[in-house]
Every structure is written in structure tokens, then in C-alpha cells.
Amino acid sequence: MENQKPKKKRSQFLEVWRRFKRNPIALVGMGIIILQILLAVFADVIAPGDGWSPGFNMQDWGNSRQFPSAENWFGTDHLGRDVFNRIVHGSRISLQVGAVVVSISMIIGVTLGAVAGFFGGVADNIIMRIIDIILAVPNILLAIAISAALGPSLVNVMIAVGVGAIPAYARQVRAQVVSLREQEFVEAARSIGASNFRLIRRHIMPNAMSPIIIEATMGFATAIAVAAALSFIGLGLEPPTPEWGAMLSDGRRYMLAGYWHMTLFPGLAIAFVIFGINMMGDGLRDALDPKLRSGGMSKGRFEKLRRAQIALTNKGADTNVKK
């Protein structure tokens, strides 16, 4: 081992990416998310406004409830607004909600969990009992209660959804920290004079990151779904904001009359994005999980590699086959 030639060096990030990209479904998921980000960034280019009203609210009363056509790809809604345009602009809202909710709940949850896990005792008890209380209320009910109390607005939706997401991070992190703080390398770090804060930040948290990254990815999807649900029942964003859940809610009234396109497309948009994020999250989980360090190599690929290497050795062409 000690005399072995140094292998080609890879940073941890590259190592994770190498494993991630072997998983085709995860790549599809990532593709969907990249597409959504592009749609959100270039929404004003793809679906421009007309100077009077923004792209998502150009009403054309003479042209309402049209079925999909070359002119209106996804048809128009009851106010004659182009459904495709609204979905494109809606991806901005969804991304914003997802990103803000995840960052806020992650920062709060991770901090609480780390403090509870590291210090234990009274701090642990107080923090985790509060977390338990939040957890005792069903997530969607909590979101409904908070947004009903605060009133409909983008910020309030984020708060309502974010509070419910805190416990997952806090518990996850606490569990990690409790087991990590007993590790010898933490004691070793203490023995070189590191402070508690430094121990948590430099030595414990980096070792606890992978489950948090996965939780965050999944949390992103949940946040979008819950925000859409809130808008659907009228507690989310106010019209004319092109929120996907609100669009579903608008279209619902016309569904029985045969106007399927007003619900189908926003519904598909929600399903698609959540599917994409979850697929990417699964891929990330596999790529980050050290127990799968064999690299998620498929049986077939392994067999092929093995045969090829045996063949090579038998030929005697290259006896120095890497294992």
C-alpha cells in the first residue's frame, strides 16, 4: 500500500459526480430540474408581456377556454390567458418557494439539531420536545393553520411550509451528531485545542452532510407540493399569480364541462418537477452513501469488466491488471 503509485487524485465532489452520472434515471431527473431553472430564468423571453400586463396575465376575453392549438400550445384559460405562458412563469414561483423554504428550514433545523445533539441534557430536551410538538401536527394542517393566520402572500406561504419542514432536519442532524460526537477524531480535535463551536462546524458537520443534502433535495419537492396544495385550497398566493396549484384550482371548475387542458397541464408540471427532484435525490443518496462505494456498478457491467480482465491476464499481454 505504502509503495503504491499515487492514484489519480479526485476531489470528493468529483468522486460523487462520477458515481451520480452512472445512474441514468438520476440524470433524467437532473435534466428536468435544469430545464425548469432555464424556464424560470428566461420566462420573460419565452413568454413576454405586451407592455400593459406581464406575460402571465395577458387576458384575451374573446379567446377564452380554447383547446390546445399551434397558437396556444396548452390552450387558454377562462380569462383567455395562455396556459403555457402561465406555466412558464409559474416555475419561477415554484423554484422560489422550494429554494427559500429549503434554505430557511435547513438552516434552522440543522442548527437546532446540532446544538441538541452536541450539548445534550437540558438543551436537547427543550429543543427536541418543541420539535416533537411541531411533528405532532400533520404537515399540511400546520401549513394551512399558519397561512390562514398570516393571510395569503408569497412570504407567508414560505413561512407556512418552512416551519413544517424544520423537524426533519433537526432530527436527522441530531441523530448524526449524537453518534459523531463520541468518535475518537472529535476527541482528537478537542485534544489539539479546538473549541466547541469549531468542533461542531469543522469536525462534526462535514461528516453529517450527506443525509442533509438528500433531505434538502426531497424537501424541495415537498415544499413545491405543499405550496401548490395551499394555493389549490385558496390559502396560498392570490390571483393573478401564476401558481401551479392555483391554476389547478381555477381549472377545476371547468373540468366537468370538458375543458381538460386547464387542469391537465399545471398538474403535469407539478408532477414532472417533483418526479425530477425525487429521481435526482435518489441518485444523490446512492452517490453519497459510503456503503455503496462500489459505485452503484451494475451486475452486468461488473461481469463484463471481470471477463475482460481475466481474458487480458490469460493472454499474458498485461499481467498488471488493476483490481
Smallest distance from the beta carbon of 116 to another protein, in angstroms?
A: 17
Task: Work out how close the CB of 240 gets to another protein at its nearest, in angstroms, rounded to a whole number.
Answer: 48
| Binder among 1, 45, 136, 256 for another protein (CB under 8 A) | 1
Cα–Cα nearest to 143, from 111, 167, 165, 113: 165
Amino acid identity for residue 239 in this structure: P
Binding status of residue 19 toward another protein by CB under 8 A: no
**319 near another protein (CB under 8 A):** no
Q: Which is nearer to another protein, 155 or 192 (CB)?
A: 192
DSSP string covering 50-70: -SSS-GGG---GGGTTPPP-S
Nearer to another protein, 89 or 203 (CB): 203
Does residue number 17 form part of the binding site for another protein (CB under 8 A)? Answer: no
Alpha helices (H) along the chain = 12-20, 24-41, 43-46, 83-119, 121-136, 139-150, 154-180, 184-191, 196-198, 205-232, 244-255, 261-288, 299-315
- Four-point Cα dihedral 101, 97, 45, 25, nearest 10: 80
Q: Does 302 bind another protein (CB under 8 A)?
A: no
| C-alpha span between 123 and 163 (Å, rounded) | 20
- Restricted to residues 32-51, the positions that interact with another protein (CB under 8 A) are none
Per CB under 8 A, 2 contacts another protein: yes
118 and 204 Cβ atoms separated by less than 8 Å: yes
List 158's β-bridge partners, or say none. none
Binder of another protein out of 89, 171, 203, 261 (CB under 8 A)? 203
Q: Which amino acid is at 149?
A: A
3-class DSSP state of 82: strand
Stretch that binds another protein, among 24-32, 143-151, 201-209, 220-228 (CB under 8 A): 201-209
The residue (of 183 and 313) whose beta carbon lies closer to another protein is 183
C-alpha cell at 77: 384559460
What is the contact mask toward another protein in residues 165 to 194, using x (rule: CB under 8 A)?
------------------xxx-xxxxxxxx
| Binding status of residue 18 toward another protein by CB under 8 A | no
The least CB distance from residue 183 to another protein, in Å, is: 6
How many amino acids of this chain bind another protein (CB under 8 A)? 22
Interacting residues with another protein (CB under 8 A): 1-2, 6-7, 9, 12, 183-185, 187-195, 202-203, 206-207
